[in-house]
Amino acid sequence: MLNSVENLNMQDLNQYINGSSLFLKEYFEKTIPFVDLIVTSPPYWDMKDYGEVKEQTGFGQEYAAYLKDIKKIFEGVYHIAKDSASMFVIVDTMKRDGRMIRLPDDISRELETVGWVHQDTIIWDKGKTLPWSRKGQMRNVFEYVLMFTKGKSTSYKYYIDRIKTTDKLKEWWIDYPERYGPQGKVPDNIWEFYIPTQGSWGSKKDFGEEEFRHACPFPPEMMARLILLATDENDVVFDPFAGTGVLLATAEKMNRRFLGFDTNPDYKKVFESVTKELVDEKWNEIESYYNYQNRLKKILEESIYKLRVLKYPKAVIKSMRNAIKKNPGWVANNFSLIIAIENKLEKNEVSLKNKTIGKVDYYFVWNDKETIVQAKNQILELISKAPFTKYGLIVNVNVLLVEEMSLLLDQIPNVLNVYTQGNTTNSVSVVDIKNFFELVKSKSLISEFDKDIPPLLSNVKIKYEDYEMLPAEKYEKKGYSKEIKQLSMLLK
Ligand SMILES: C[S@@+](CC[C@H](N)C(=O)[O-])C[C@H]1O[C@@H](n2cnc3c(N)ncnc32)[C@H](O)[C@@H]1O
């Protein structure tokens, strides 16, 4: 057991130290802040006896004395945490003498007096729990994950893109690509992670099984999510109440440095002989989850981009039609064709602030010489506002007459993908633009295929197969074979 006046330094990293966190400030008296992330779960007051260890916090203490010690411990944690650090404290309420003890509130209050700032509360849904409840209390399945940062600092690490997911993506993302982030969805604040004591740990370990269960180990999947969110490789991850050390073992797997304290020497043994191996066993599963998510996110990113490029002109035409209701002088519905040519973004055009993701030349082919200037002005007015400003596209709008289409032959690719009947989510065919322009001129296309929205030609190709791995039901149900057949007949 570590002596309370012993001084520690950075060489003591990647260690599980058998000692009380009450003396963190003293141990690290001469050390500059070095911790990047803290994830921890303190004893829930006197709920559990963590072994025959006199120094343990909580067990056998009055509530006020317990809170005082908690405050002192987190003062020490504050002392060694970098300004860019964040901290996640996992804790739950408890019932005592027929009333609820709001431990999360009380702990948060103590921590704020030390300088920690409460940023967020996440509900950790543990899925399963003891199969009982009692009067005045439902079966409890969740705990609180309280997120804190140091002072008012906004420099804390928060790599949200890394933990965005394609889970629970509704089919709407296909029809409203401008509303969905290309990196996936930010996880909501209810997290489902099973506690690793109930059958999710594979083979039963003889040594330490009892202690392992007793210490309420963290799920390594949840630790991996927090480590990804708040640290870089080589950063220091710390747990002042390490228990079985799941956080530490997960940090090590992720090439982070770690440090843990616990008063119970048996848990250090469990960490060495059980936890490390169990996290190792679990690691493949965790890694494949993130690899799979990253693959899906890549597909999502590419698809959202393509869907936005293709939807944009259709949305312009629809907006023009709606605007007529408010502006009787407006013109609309005189389009014969739309062409969308995607260009490469120059480096200086990429703007993270405006979320610029692409650059497109749009050609709107208009039927009426008299109103072409007005049509262009209307389009420009519409696209200067939301939702068009939310597409993240640098747009160049051209409006030209049917008889001017031949001028484009030298300017744009000769073969383009075609989208018909207002469906910009699946290309029905590839066409030679010269032939296609002839069909447009003869007006045979408009009457055949596109009653409301004219055909769209583009160098951007998207087909259902490109993104059907992602969750959505809608596109699976639609059949477009008829359309393709009609089109190929016309183009013969
Ligand atoms: C809720 S458990 C933590 C479980 C841990 N999160 C895990 O994954 O196994 C609380 C731990 O705090 C330890 N503890 C109690 N008082 C302490 C103190 N003053 N300093 C360090 N550890 C202490 C207990 O021994 C126990 O292992």
| Residue pLDDT, tens place only, 351-374 | 666 678 899 999 999 989 999 999
**Whole-number Cα distances in Å, 320 to 17, 326, 401, 457:** 68, 10, 18, 20
Question: Is residue 323 a part of any domain in this protein?
Answer: no
Same domain, residue pair 400 and 482: yes
- Model confidence at 458, pLDDT cuts 50, 70, 90, reads very high
Could you give the number of structural domains in the chain? 2
The rounded distance, in Å, linking the Cα atoms of 235 and 22 is 23
Find the 220 Cα to ligand 1 centroid distance in Å. 17
Q: Is the peptide bond before 177 cis (omega within 30 degrees of 0)?
A: no
Question: Is residue 315 a part of any domain in this protein?
Answer: no
Same domain, residue pair 293 and 336: no
Find the 90 Cα to ligand 1 centroid distance in Å. 12
Same domain, residue pair 40 and 94: yes
The rounded distance, in Å, linking the Cα atoms of 187 and 194 is 17
- 3-class DSSP state of 436: helix
- Model confidence at 52, pLDDT cuts 50, 70, 90, reads confident
| Ligand 1 site, residue 335, Cβ cutoff 6 A | no
Listed residues 248, 274, 297: the one ending a domain: 297
Going by C-alpha positions, the residue among 359, 452, 485, 423 that lies closest to residue 175 is: 423
- Model confidence at 306, pLDDT cuts 50, 70, 90, reads very high
The rounded distance, in Å, linking the Cα atoms of 190 and 308 is 30
Question: Is residue 318 a part of any domain in this protein?
Answer: no
Same domain, residue pair 354 and 225: no
Same domain, residue pair 293 and 404: no
Q: Is the CB of residue 345 less than 8 Å from the CB of residue 380?
A: no
Tokens of 187: 């996880």
Q: Is the CB of residue 88 less than 8 Å from the CB of residue 39?
A: yes
Beta bridge partners of 419: 456
CATH number (domain holding residue 78): 3.40.50.150
Question: Is residue 453 a part of any domain in this protein?
Answer: yes
Question: Is residue 319 a part of any domain in this protein?
Answer: no
Output the residue whose Cα is nearest ligand 1's atom 3.
243
Question: Is residue 326 a part of any domain in this protein?
Answer: no
Same domain, residue pair 98 and 246: yes
Rg, C-alpha atoms of the chain: 30
Domain that holds residue 241: 10-297
Same domain, residue pair 293 and 338: no
Question: Is residue 198 a part of any domain in this protein?
Answer: yes
Same domain, residue pair 132 and 234: yes
Same domain, residue pair 238 and 348: no
Same domain, residue pair 14 and 162: yes
Q: Which of 56, 201, 244 to mutate for ligand 1's pocket (most ligand atoms within 8 Å of CB)?
A: 56
Same domain, residue pair 363 and 483: yes
Quickly count: other Cβ atoms within 10 Å of residue 79's Cβ. Answer: 19
Which pLDDT tens digit goes with each residue over 233-272?
999 999 999 999 999 999 999 999 999 999 999 999 999 9
In ligand 1, the atom with minimum distance to the C-alpha of 50 is 25
Residue with the larger pLDDT of the pair 118 and 336: 118
| Ligand 1 site, residue 218, Cβ cutoff 6 A | yes
Question: Is residue 349 a part of any domain in this protein?
Answer: yes
| Ligand 1 site, residue 216, Cβ cutoff 6 A | yes
Find the 113 Cα to ligand 1 centroid distance in Å. 22
Same domain, residue pair 293 and 398: no
Tokens of 375: 């049509």
400: burial class by Cβ within 10 Å (0-12, 13-18, 19+)? middle
Q: What is the mean pLDDT of the chain?
A: 88
Output the residue whose Cα is nearest ligand 1's atom 24.
50
